[in-house]
Amino acid sequence: MTQKRKEAFHFAFRIPCERFKDFTGISAEEKLRWLEEARDFVAKTVPPEKLALWRRFASLDRSR
């Protein structure tokens, strides 16, 4: 895949600093549980083809 095409699939998710304050009272265990639940939800609701595509693009991003 060309660099230009890789850049076309780059995306970012930004969270305002104020939003992080909402999570200061949550333990690391609770944060991990939330993350695992979110991962399970995505795995159950996103079609396998799309998950494979996301994984492929994620591996391209790590190879930079």
Q: CB of 5 within 8 A of CB of 61?
A: no
Inter-CA distances, 61 with 4, 6, 13, 43, 47, Å = 13, 8, 15, 20, 21
Rounded to an integer, what distance in angstroms lies between the CA atom of residue 16 and that of residue 49?
32
pTM, two decimals, is 0.54
The ranges assigned to domains in the chain are 3-10+26-62
Q: What is the pLDDT of residues 15-57, one digit of tens each?
A: 888 888 888 889 999 999 999 999 899 889 989 998 888 888 8
Angle at 37 between CA 33 and CA 13, to 5 degrees: 95
